[in-house]
Every structure is written in C-alpha cells, then in structure tokens.
Amino acid sequence: MPVLTIKRKMVLLVLITLIPIFLLEIVRINKDFKEKVNMELRAGEDLANSVTSSFCNYIEELWTSQAAIGKLFVSNSMTADDIQKYLTEVETDDVVFSELSWISADGTIIASQDPELAGTSVSGIEYFSRISEGETKVLTGLIPLDSQTGHFTYVARGIMTDGTLHGIVAGRVYPDMFADRLNMHDNSYSRDFGFIDRKGNVLCISPVKSTAVDSSLVTVIDESIPGGTSNTSIEYPVGLSGWKCFVSINYEMIADKHNASLTYNITVLLLVLIISILLALVLAKRILDPLTNIKETISAVKSGNYTVRSNIYGNDEVAATAQDIDVMVDTILTNDLIKSQAFTDLSHELKAPLNVIYASSQLIESIPSESCTCENHNKVLKYCRSIRLNCYKLIKIISNLLDVSKYEGGHLTIRMEYLNIISIIEETTMSVVAYAENKGVSIIFDTDTEEKYTACDQNAIERIILNLLSNALKFTDSGGSIFVSIASTVDRIIVRVDDTGIGIPKDKLKHVFDRFRQADLSLSRNYYGSGLGLSLVKTLVEVHKGTIYVTSEEGKGTSFILHLPVRKLSEEELAVLDSRDEIKGEQSLAGKVSIELSDINDITGR
C-alpha cells in the first residue's frame, strides 16, 4: 500500500472537497435543463391558448363581416349588378379577404371581386358541400393554388332566414394574411407554432412560412423523429371544424443551450479543480520543505552527526519546532564535547600514575633473585606480575578510550602509507598463534593472494586484527578454532574473522559495536572486557573508509566481515608522509600484542 504522504493528503483533501461540489453542480445543471424544458412547455401552452383565442376571434370576425354583407344583399333584394358593384367597391383590407364572392343557393357565383368568376359553379368545393349539409360557418382546409402563390383557405358563411338558404358569402384567406393579422411571431427560437387543418396540413408555422408543409415535419407527438430532431408538441382544438393549434418544442435547441452551459460550467469547475490541486501542491511543498529539512536533521543527529542544523527561521509552529531541535542538538553537542573532554582529561590523568606503577613493577621483576634478601621473593614476583598485567589492561582501556574520543571529536590522526596489507594481517595473526595454543585454540590463516598494496595505517590495521582475535579467543573454548581469511577484488579487500565460540544472541547483534556494551553479561560474566574493543575496531575501519558487520549463531560461533577499499595515497597524504620525521621508539608488534592480549595472558596463566 503506497504511503499517504502530506502532499498526497493535501491533494486528496482538495478532491474530497471539490468532487462533491463538481457532482452537485452537474446535478444542478441537469435540474436546470429540466426546468427550462418545463418552462418552455408552460410558455408553449400559454402561447397556444393565446394564439387559439386570437385565431378564433379573427375567424369569427370574418364570419360576422360575411353575415353582415349577406344580409345586406338579401334584405335589400339587390340585383347581381348591384352586388357586383358593391363587391368591386367594398374595402376588405381590414378583414383580409381576397376574391370575396356572393354565391347562390345552387352553387353558382353571382358576383365576385374577381369578375371572371361570375357564373362559375362551386358545387364541388368543400365549403359549398358543408353549408348545403347544414353548416352555416365554414373554414376549409388548405387548398393548393399553384407553385407561385402557394396555398389558401376559404372562409364561408351561409345566409339563412327561417331555415332557408338564400346564398353564401365566401372569400379566400392566404396564410400570410393570417400571420400578419395574428402577429404569430415568437421570440423563442426553440418553439414553432401554427395551425393544423382537418386534413393535417399546416398553416402558419413560426417563423411564418407562406406555403403549407407536410404535417409529418411538425405535428410530432413522439419525442423524436427521423433525422435526429427531438420535439414535443402541444395541440389545442380550435373548435372550428377540426382545426387545431399546435406549439412544438425543439429539444435539440434547448439541449444545445444546455450543453453550452454545461460545457462552460464543467470547464470552470475543472479549472478550479486544477488550480486548487496546484495550490495544494505548492502549499504542501511549502509545508514539506521545512519538515523534510527537520527530518534530515534528525536523521543526521541519529547517525551521530551533531554539526547539522535545520536553519529554519520564522514565527510559525514548524519554525519554532525546528529552532527547538537546533537548540537541542547544540545542547547534545556541547554535552558530548564536555564528556569527550572529560574522558580525555581523565585518561591522561590515569595514564601518568599507571605508567609509574607499570615501570615500578618492571623494575621489581628485573631484580636478580640472588641479590634479593627477601624470604618471599617468588611471591613478590608473582604479585608484581599481576600488577603489571592489570596495568596493561588499564592502559589498553585508556588508549582505546582516547582513540574513540579523538575520532568522535575529529582529532584522530592516522599515518597512511602505501603498504602490503596482506602481509600486515598475516604477521599480526601469526603473532597470536602462541597465545591461542596455550588456550587450546587453533588459528587458521588463508588468503587468495599474497600481495595487495593499498593506502593504510599499519598500526591501525594491526589493532583491528588484534582486537578481533582477542574477542574471538575470549569466547572460544579449548578445542575450538579461529579462521582468518582474506579475499581481494580490484577495488577492495574482504577480511573475515570466524570462530567456533559461544556466539551472540540475535537480539544483541545490533549492540556489539556500542561503547561500554557487551553482547550478553550472562554469557561473558567469566570473561573480562571493557566493551571498548569492538567500538574501537569500528572506529578504525571507518577511518579507512571501510565497513564492518557481524553475523552470529548462538552456540555455533561468530563472524566479523571487514570491507576495506583498495586505493593509492592521495597527494595530500604523500605530502604529510614526506614531511613527517621517522617516529622513534614506536611500540613493537610484540609489545602491542602484549597490551591487546593482556586478558589472554590472564586466562592462560602466563
């Protein structure tokens, strides 16, 4: 499972906050779309009612005009010439008639605004048939005229007295006349409206068309028609012999507006989301940078580097925490320096009297037995030897303590030379063989190469090997073995020191290189040790830019593995080496062995 970092938490917080808002906005937009459709339907319903009422009033006005004209003709017993003259002179602009005619009861046109129609029969025309069947008011369906003038409809009124038909007043009305009179225009581009005659032909579609069109294009009751256009129609009966008023709502046009609004809103929300995530990342970085700095500082301090500081300043909580950590590290460093200085001072103070005691014991041991008058000369020599051996132990502890303190304080200096490290390790190992045999432990040395030159400090390498051998001899019983092996590569030397001793418990392995710490007092209670030897070994290995680690199995033995780099002396190291005088009186290897293995001497009784 991936780690939920602060940066991811910030982004997740933004997403948790904005995604519900994003979804709610989409729901709101869809709700708005439905409301817009409902508003369009309600507006269409209102429009249909208004147009229907206006249309009915208009047709009734036409019929009323026709009734007045017809009664004028009948009541005055006007002749055909009088009627023709009247129709020619009458103004019909207000009632929007065309070709107004007076027709006899048998279907013959007696007089007309178009004189050429006089004498023709209308017995085959719809309005005559319907009036003959008893209707008094007739509005016919749309009648095609020609491709030039399009369609028209007849408005006719039967003139009757006491049930007797005296004649018919009929006139043509063209669709554009209806449109002009009714002002059938709508500001909405998503609605079409008009009238459907009893035959299904359409009259006056908005925007107004001067010709009738096939009803299948506009009288759509289903929500979709072929071609992808989505419509919903509202139809109202006009009450005029099967005519209807319709309002058609175009879903596509509403959807286009809705989609444009939806696209805009989604784009805005996405931009807000992206900007919010970027701001969250920037804010997270501003928070994480000092926290990362603090984490790295703490990690460095845990590793023993007390020189690092977070150097974060400010007035917020993070800066205050960082400053407290810096103060804490300063305090740790100060206390550590005080402690190191105390160890150094104490070590120097202890070495002076120890050297005197050591020298005095040597002088006493050097007195010839024949020149000594003491009755207990041999017993005195035994005690002097014990004093000398314990002086060795204390001197070793103090020397190791001084070296570790110098290393931690950055003052430990080593003398790097270009030497055959194989030879140094072999000679050091073989110098301990005699001590090991006295305890009944065999030491086996093996190497895959006899010669490997590298930059190293001979004294430090010898101390590393001697400390590891001393540690192995302490915890390996008689009859056991110690194996020292060397393997080399192009760029490193690998040294292993294996023993068949009591081993180290698994949970104690991580403490073997700690200062003043032994793996298990219950296992080592019969063996003397200060707990500084392996700490010094680790220090000297690290001075050589190497590494050391340990593996062990309780009851079977322990292995220490060293990795030392193979390199030549640097120019600085060569300059230091050339400038040094030959060190006089340097302690011999045998002397080193005596000091490092003083505890072995105690074990073997030498």
Q: Residue 146: which CATH number?
A: 3.30.450.20
Highest mean pLDDT among 344-353, 365-374, 573-582: 344-353
Place of tokens 């207990």: 376
pLDDT per residue as tens digits for the range 171-207: 988 877 766 666 555 556 566 777 788 777 776 555 4
pLDDT, residue 34, reads 79
Determine the Cα–Cα distance for residues 405 and 535; give it in Å rounded to an integer: 11
pLDDT, residue 148, reads 58
The answer on 424 and 385 residing in a single domain is no
Highest mean pLDDT among 2-6, 214-218, 411-415: 411-415
468: closest CA among 408, 372, 535? 535
Question: Is 200 a member of any domain?
Answer: yes
Which two three-digit tokens encode residue 600? 């072995």
Question: Is 302 a member of any domain?
Answer: no
H or E segment at 585? none
The answer on 378 and 422 residing in a single domain is no
The answer on 359 and 390 residing in a single domain is yes
Under a CB-based contact definition with an 8 Å cutoff, are residues 169 and 100 in contact? Answer: yes
Which two three-digit tokens encode residue 247? 């309002």
Question: Is 564 a member of any domain?
Answer: yes
Question: Is 147 a member of any domain?
Answer: yes
Question: Is 16 a member of any domain?
Answer: no
Query: For residues 305 and 81, which has the higher predicted lDDT (pLDDT)?
Result: 81
Q: Are strands 98-103 and 164-173 parallel, antiparallel or unpaired?
A: antiparallel
SS (H, E, C) 142-206: CEEEECCCEEEEEEEEEEEECCEEEEEEEEEECHHHHHHHHCCCCCCCCEEEEEECCCCCEECCC
Is the Cα torsion angle 92, 96, 102, 108 positive or negative in sign? Answer: positive
The answer on 542 and 429 residing in a single domain is yes
pLDDT, residue 179, reads 64
Structural domains in the chain (count): 3
What is the domain range of residue 358? 317-397
pLDDT per residue as tens digits for the range 419-438: 999 999 999 999 999 889 98
Task: Count other Cβ atoms within 10 Å, centred on residue 482.
Answer: 24
Mean of per-residue pLDDT scores for the chain: 77
The answer on 473 and 594 residing in a single domain is yes
Determine the Cα–Cα distance for residues 95 and 65; give it in Å rounded to an integer: 8
Question: Is 3 a member of any domain?
Answer: no
pLDDT per residue as tens digits for the range 60-90: 888 999 899 999 999 888 898 898 888 888 7
Peptide bond before residue 237 is cis, with ω within 30 degrees of 0: no
CA–CA distances in Å: residue 289 to residues 2, 7, 132, 317, 455: 20, 11, 100, 14, 41
SS (H, E, C) 289-350: HHHHHHHHHHHHHHCCCCCCCCCCCCCCHHHHHHHHHHHHHHHHHHHHHHHHHHHHHHHHHH
The answer on 66 and 155 residing in a single domain is yes
The answer on 432 and 393 residing in a single domain is no
The answer on 438 and 326 residing in a single domain is no
The answer on 201 and 141 residing in a single domain is yes
**Last residue of a domain, which of 342, 370, 397?**
397
The answer on 361 and 422 residing in a single domain is no
Q: Residue 537: which CATH number?
A: 3.30.565.10
pLDDT per residue as tens digits for the range 218-277: 333 333 333 345 566 667 777 666 788 777 777 677 777 777 777 887 888 888 888 888
Q: pLDDT category, 372, cuts 50, 70, 90?
A: low
Which two three-digit tokens encode residue 496? 């292993």
pLDDT, residue 170, reads 94
pLDDT, residue 128, reads 92
**Last residue of a domain, which of 371, 397, 423?**
397
136: closest CA among 154, 159, 104, 155? 159
The yes-or-no verdict on residue 147 having pLDDT over 70 is no
Under a CB-based contact definition with an 8 Å cutoff, are residues 184 and 194 in contact? Answer: yes
Which two three-digit tokens encode residue 590? 């045998």
**Last residue of a domain, which of 252, 268, 284?**
268
The answer on 165 and 234 residing in a single domain is yes
Question: Is 221 a member of any domain?
Answer: yes
The answer on 434 and 577 residing in a single domain is yes
Under a CB-based contact definition with an 8 Å cutoff, are residues 412 and 463 in contact? Answer: no
Question: Is 25 a member of any domain?
Answer: no
The yes-or-no verdict on residue 550 having pLDDT over 90 is yes
